[in-house]
Amino acid sequence: MHTLSQLQSGELTGITRLKLAQNLTHFPMEILSLADSLEILDLTDNQLSTLPDELVELKKLKIVFASNNQFEILPEVLGRCENLEMIGFKANKIKHVAEEALPPKLRWLILTDNELESLPDSLGHRPRLQKLALAGNRLTQLPQSMSQLHNLELLRISANQLDVFPDQLLELPKLAWFAFAGNPFCHCDLHSQTVPEISSTSYELQEVLGQGASGVISKASWTEQQHRFPDEVAVKVFKGEITSDGYPKDELQTCLKLGDHPNLVKSLAQVNEPDRLALIMELIPSHYKNLGLPPCLDSCTRDTFAPGFTLSIEQIDKIVCEMTDVFEHLHHHQVCHGDLYAHNTLFDEQANIIFGDFGAASMYHMLSEYQQEKIKQIEHRALVHFIDDMLNVCSFEDRGSELYQSLKERIA
């Protein structure tokens, strides 16, 4: 984090990344003094509503983040920034995106949690676009031109007002991570009772185990003696608002619809109260650890891994077999996970995996057979990328093995 006084004093001359969060109401024109070096401008968590035309003077600018501000229009000056690739304006009040507001080199666009009812046709004419997040708006349709987004890999359209499934997305050749729940076209009255409902007073939350876009997972113990559940459990308390992936209630129902599988986090009970939505789960043994790390700005849609991380080909083969079985289980139940990644996977030394995080999951049993088959094909691309990522961390001495070549052939 930087300060305005640092910028004004010249202390930040030559930096490539600037982050200012000081309740700003106007764009600090001193930022233009960084024109020779600035590549990433992060103005998240301010009170901005406009950007100046002079932004184009930042010739090296590649990334602009301005989430949690007061923008009602996506600034058109962004479209004139010739090297701009990534735009993040989550949680503003954006109602309009002009045809000219999208830069020609756009690769990553985040407009989650705004007030958009439509999008410009120019969106489909940004051939480098890989990642597009539009959840939590008021979209009633998507541009037909999006059928031309041949490099689009990740798409979030959950929690909008789409009455008809946007079929123009189904033939996109690289789409792999797709979330669409919470729209009228896939409305579902299904309320799974595969696990019992309990009161939120039945347990007491302890230390936080993890958290994501849709909620916080904590260790918990029972406030009264239980005979049907383990002594210690994990509880995911869902956030009440729209997340980057959609509605928490859709995530809960999807988890319950899937039932039990040895490689999924086991659901034990649910809380479905007016002010509390929660899922009680088995506590994952502490020796499990994350298989991967989330994508970074450079990788955009692909997972990253800790430096030096490797696996034997035998471990990889087991992990791939178990994830493939998970994939088949998901689609047998007509569920698209939407986030099939190593960073949502836990593993142990025996290469057993536990797969979770259903925030981007979508049920699709209400769609046509053609649409269902295409959705399964889309997620199969994510499985192929998962296998590819696993092979990329294979130990060097195993890369000549028959098993390695066999797995390599699966993604050819």
* Mean pLDDT of all residues in 382-398: 98
For residues 209 and 178, membership in a common domain is answered with: no
Instruction: Look at residue 250 in the predicted model and tell me its pLDDT.
Output: 85
User: Do 161 and 247 reside in the same domain of the chain?
Assistant: no
Q: Can you give the pLDDT at residue 190? A: 67
- Token representation of residue 248: 């928490």
> What integer pLDDT is reported at residue 191 of this predicted model?
65
Give 19-40 pLDDT, tens digit per residue.
Answer: 999 999 999 999 999 999 999 9
* Together in a domain, 311 and 258: no
Q: What is the DSSP letter of 366?
A: T
Residues 228 and 157 in one domain: no
Interior angle at CA 19, CA 209 and CA 78, nearest 5: 115
Q: Alpha-carbon distance 90 to 68, whole Å?
A: 6
Are 359 and 216 in contact by the 8 Å Cβ rule? The answer is no
DSSP type of residue 122: G
290: three-class secondary structure by DSSP:
strand
CB 20 within 8 A of CB 7: yes
Same-domain status, 144 and 208: no
For 335, the domain range is 289-410
Do residues 347 and 307 both lie within one domain? yes
Is 265 in contact with 279 (CB distance < 8 Å)?
no
Same domain (yes/no): 181, 211: no
d(CA 114, CA 94): 5
Asked if 16 and 39 count as a contact pair (C-beta separation under 8 A), the reply is yes
Q: At residue 266, what are phi and psi to the nearest 5 degrees?
A: -80, 125
Position 407 confidence tier, pLDDT thresholds 50, 70, 90: very high
Domain boundary among 142, 163, 186: 186
**Cβ within 8 Å of residue 250, ≥6 positions away:** 158, 181, 182, 361, 362, 363
Sequence-distant (6+) residues with CB within 8 A of 196 are 269, 270
> How many C-beta neighbours within 10 Å does residue 100 have?
13
In a domain, residue 400? The reply is: yes
Contact residues for 232 (Cβ-Cβ < 8 A; gap 6+)? 219, 220, 221, 283
Please tell me the pTM assigned to this model: 0.94
In a domain, 353, yes or no: yes
pLDDT of residue 14: 95
25 and 71 part of one domain: yes
For 36-76, the pLDDT digits (tens) are 999 999 999 999 999 999 999 999 999 999 999 999 999 99
**Any idea which residue has 């086991």 for tokens?**
266
| 388 and 372 in a common domain | yes
Whether 236 has a binding-site annotation, put simply, is yes
Read off the pLDDT of each residue in 347-376 and give the average, rounded to a whole number. 95
Do residues 173 and 32 share a domain? yes
Instruction: Tell me, yes or no, whether 99 lies in a domain.
Output: yes
Domain boundary among 282, 310, 335: 282
State the Cα–Cα distance between residues 404 and 394, nearest whole angstrom. Answer: 8
In a domain, 191, yes or no: no
% of the chain at pLDDT higher than 70: 99
Do 348 and 271 share a structural domain? no
Please indicate, yes or no, if residue 46 is contained in any of the structural domains. yes
Tell me: do 174 and 211 sit in the same domain. Answer: no
Count of domains observed in the chain: 3
- Is pLDDT above 70 for 303? yes
Query: For the domain that residue 375 is a member of, what is the CATH number?
Result: 1.10.510.10
Q: Taking the CA of residue 165 as centre, how many other CA atoms within 13 Å lie in the half-sphere pointing to its CB? A: 22
Domain end, chosen from 186, 217, 237, is at 186
Helix (H/G/I), strand (E/B), else coil: 252: helix
Distances (CA, A) of 348 to 105, 139, 273, 357: 41, 42, 35, 18
Six-digit token string for 179: 């979330």
Higher pLDDT, 374 or 412: 374
Q: What is the CATH number of the domain that holds 218?
A: 3.30.200.20
**What CA–CA distance (Å, rounded) separates 215 from 247?**
11
State the Cα torsion 385-390-396-397 to the nearest 10°. -120
Residue 195, domain member (yes or no): no
In-domain check, residue 143 = yes
- Main-chain phi, psi angles of 239, to 5 degrees: -70, 150
Q: Supply 52's token pair.
A: 């100046």
Encoded tokens for 28:
């600090």
Q: Is residue 193 part of a domain?
A: no
Q: Mean pLDDT of all residues in the chain?
A: 94
